[in-house]
Each structure stands twice: as structure tokens, then as C-alpha cells.
Structure 1
Amino acid sequence: MTTNLTHEMPQDQRFLVLFDFDETIISESSDDAVVRALPDQQLPDWLINSYREGHYNEHMQKVLAYMAERGVTKDSIQSAVETITPTPGLLVLLQFLQNHKQDFELAVVSDANMYFIKTWLERAGVSHLFRKIFTNPASFDASGRLVLLPFHSHSCKDCPDNMCKQVILRDYLAGRQKERGGMAFQRVFYIGDGANDICPTQALGPRDTAFPRRDFPMHRLLMEIQKSQPAQFKANMVPWASGEDIMDCLKKVLEER
């Protein structure tokens, strides 16, 4: 599922900034945060143990069904999502990007879901900054259960079966170039933290930058790739601990013109 959030964006932004959501924009996994809405604030072992590697979306469908069976309401889920804290400095970074919106186009690429992401971004007052959200569709059915679906199917062997972020990135860049009359973005910046943020960085070029969250899986894996398969990763790498670290780097990019 994708959603167009704004229609008044300038068409000629030079740079594209892509954000993961869980543990990148927000300080924890939204899926974990929502489990706290359960009466006993945790999942039973049988449900935790039913997870199969590469099928996380399917697992979350079961989790949300279980939560509905236990009487967790839409209001409780909304409240659990809205109270997640942002990652340190992230709102400062978004304010900076808002101040330079003529230069930066923003999008979210996340394996969370549309309900969690839109709910949080709207509560934080920043949803208007993002031109697109690429994530798994989720909506409440008539019985009040949050129903989750996979984003797409793909043939990438490295990614979960419901989402390959590199496919999303490549398609988006091609589509936007067409819409912009053949004009490509001068640079792409990819901000993430997890193992599923590695695949899209393989599509970045030497002028682009990957921002892995320091000491998180994306950072460790990129350092391994740089050592063992340097040809696979062409972009610059700037590890970050707070949104200000990313902002400092983007400020320098703006000063280069």
C-alpha cells in the first residue's frame, strides 16, 4: 500500500530522503509497542514461537488477530502507537527538512503498516512532510480487528516475502524521474537501522549516502559488506546516533552548491 500525502510539493527538489520507520523515526518497534495494549502486556509463548523466518508480516497478522480476540480496541491501539517516543533528534531533523523543503523530497519505506505509521506521523504533526509512504496495508474491519496485508510480492531472495525495499526504491526513482520530465534526483539519502535496510542500499550510487543507525544491525552488516564485498556497496556511509548527526551531514550537502 502506498499513499500520496501531499499535493503542493515543489516538483524540482534535488535530493530524495528515504526513512525507515521502526527504530529510525520512532525509538522502538511499533509492533512491540502495540503489544503493551494487551491486558497482560505480552504475547503468549505459543504465538511468539509460531514465527517463521522471513514471514514476519504473516506473524503480525496473527498477533493482531489475537489482540482482537483479547478485546484490545482501536482506541487502545491508537493510544499505544501515539505514545511511542521519537528517536533522539529525529524531530529536529524533520524540522530542518521542513525548512528546506524546496531541496528535499521525503518518503517512508517501512515493513510496519499504514495504520501505525500514519497514526504516529499525524500525532507528531509531521505527516505532511512525506510525499509517499510505502508500507503494508492495514485497516480495521467491521468487527474492530486491525487487518494487515502484505505490501507486494517480489523475487528478491534476500528480503522478507512481503517486502523488498530495493524494488520499491528502484521503482520510485524511475517513476519520479518520468514525472519530473526526465530529471533524476542529484542524490539519494537512505536512513535506516535494520537488516531489511541493507537491500535498498545496494541500489545507491557513489553520490548517495546510507545512514545506518550506529551499532544497529544495518550498521554492522554494512561494515561487513564494505570489508568482504566492497564492490556491492557504492554509496557513502554515515553512521548516526541522533537525528542531529544526519542533519549536520545534510547541511554540508546544501553548502556545497
Structure 2
Amino acid sequence: MKLLMVFDFDHTVVDDNSDTWVIRSLPGQKLPDSVKSTYRKGCWTEFMGRVMNYIGEQNVSLDRVRGVMETIPFTAGMKDLLKFISAHDNTDCVVISDSNTIFIDWILNASGLRAAVDQVFTNPATVNESGYMEVQHHHSHDCERCPVNLCKRKVLELYLSDQLKRGVEYQQIFYVGDGGNDLCPTSCLRGCDVVMPRKGYTLEKLLTRQGRQQEDVSLRAKVVAWSTGTEILEELKKSLQS
């Protein structure tokens, strides 16, 4: 029996949005209105494809982009938390994010923390023949609550199913996130599990609202809000000692 830590990435592991942080690689550090105006609600991945295309058209090298991405700050206490997880064989760790594979790998590798994460589930990114970065949907799904490119509940359920086939069963799951797209996966957590929303962010507000309205019959997990990785680490240590 093991523990599983599930992390969102933007505004959770790192203390900003990796997709908007990349704009700092541009000479003027901002997008023109001609690009910003192309965003459509629910189609962020397609929008990021146009952003990366524009960055490439401005002759910004991938080395420059990588250098900028490697400066994104980690959330306070998160590095220590990931180092602790990495040192404990009975704790698995996955990231489920609406960022992309290249950004997350760059950031984790630069910090020396890539080995702390067993698997990353996010939108696949590649470099095309022109040297520009392209981003694709992680998968397709039929969940009406989630963005068209990613349902984190589906990802988590498939991961747990695959692990069970390998003989790995989790005694407890910690789900750590901040955003609206982190609400859906909380519905597949059990009473022994813990959902940890970041204080002051969308996920905490949604969970609080549902608790007041007593509509969330699907949420069985314990809710523990956090501000720093240190607080998450304290909760994890309590479970490991119990």
C-alpha cells in the first residue's frame, strides 16, 4: 500500500502560469492585440499554439524561451516538499496539468526535481520543422465540466486503473491544486483521501460554495486548504506517521 500525491502545476508547483510566463521571452514582453484577440473561451491550447507561433516568427530562439521558462518561481516550500516525496519510496507523485510537456520538463529539469515526479500528464508539445513549438490536446473526452483538451478526472481514473493492474493500490491520495479544472477530479476521491485547494484561489472558492449549498454529494474526501508547500508537507508527514 502506498500514498499518491497528485499535483496541478501552474499556481501550484510553480507560483505563476507557465503559459503566460513564456511571453517574457519576447523583446517587448507582451503580445500584440492581434494575437490576444484570437483567444476563445475553452480553447486555450489552440491559443497557445498561436502564441508560440508568434514567438517563433519574432525570431526568438528556443534556447531563449527555455532560459526564460527556467526562471519561473516555485511556490514557497514546494521544492522541499518534492525533495521529501522523492526520498520516500512509498509515495508516488504525478502531475496533471493544462500546460505542456516541454515547459514542465524544462522547469523541473532546471530545478533538479524531475526525478521527484513519476509521471506528467499534460498537453504534448513538439518542435516543428521551422523550429517553432507546437502544442496539441492531451486527449479527447466527453466531460461537459472540463476544457475540451483535458479532463483531469479521466486522467486520474485511468492512472489509478493502470496502477491497479500493476498491483499498485493507494492507501491514500492527496490531490493538490488551485484552479477550476481541478474540481472535476475531486469527485473520484474517496473518504480516506485529501483534496488540498490553494487558499484564495478558484478551487477553494468552488469547494466552499458547494459546501454551503450542500450540492456536492460526490465529494467524499477531506478538504485541507494550503498556502505553502510546507503546509502540504506537514499533512503528508501526518499520514506517513499514522
Note the alpha carbon deviations across 1:73-132, whole angstroms, 9 max, x for none: 101110111011100110111122123x22210011000000000011011101111111
Q: Does 1:219 align with 2:204?
A: yes
Structure 2 counterpart SS, 1:109: strand
Measured in 2, the distance between the counterparts of 1:214 and 1:177 equals 32
Q: Which residue of 2 aligns with 1:66?
A: 54
Measured in 2, the distance between the counterparts of 1:35 and 1:230 equals 38
Structure 2 counterpart SS, 1:92: helix
How many equivalent pairs are there? 241
User: Aligned-pair RMSD on alpha carbons?
Assistant: 1.0
Q: Does 1:174 align with 2:161?
A: yes
Measured in 2, the distance between the counterparts of 1:43 and 1:173 equals 40
Q: Which residue of 2 aligns with 1:200?
A: 185
TM-score w.r.t. the length of structure 2 is: 0.97
Structure 2 counterpart SS, 1:186: strand
Measured in 2, the distance between the counterparts of 1:23 and 1:230 equals 24
Code of the aligned partner of 2:112:
G
Equivalent of 2:173, from 185, 188, 204?
188
Q: Which residue of 2 aligns with 1:17?
A: 5
Note the alpha carbon deviations across 1:29-50, whole angstroms, 9 max, x for none: 0111100111110011232222
Q: Which residue of 2 aligns with 1:165?
A: 152
Which 5+ residue runs of structure 1 have no aligned equivalent? Answer: 1-12
Q: Which residue of 2 aligns with 1:233?
A: 219
User: Do the aligned residues in 2 keep the contact of 1:225 with 1:232 (CA within 8 Å)?
Assistant: no
Identity of matched residues, %: 37
User: Do the aligned residues in 1 keep the contact of 2:195 with 2:224 (CA within 8 Å)?
Assistant: yes
Note the alpha carbon deviations across 1:145-204, whole angstroms, 9 max, x for none: 001111001000011100000000001001100111xx5211111111111111111111
Moved over 6 A (4+): none
Structure 2 counterpart SS, 1:232: coil
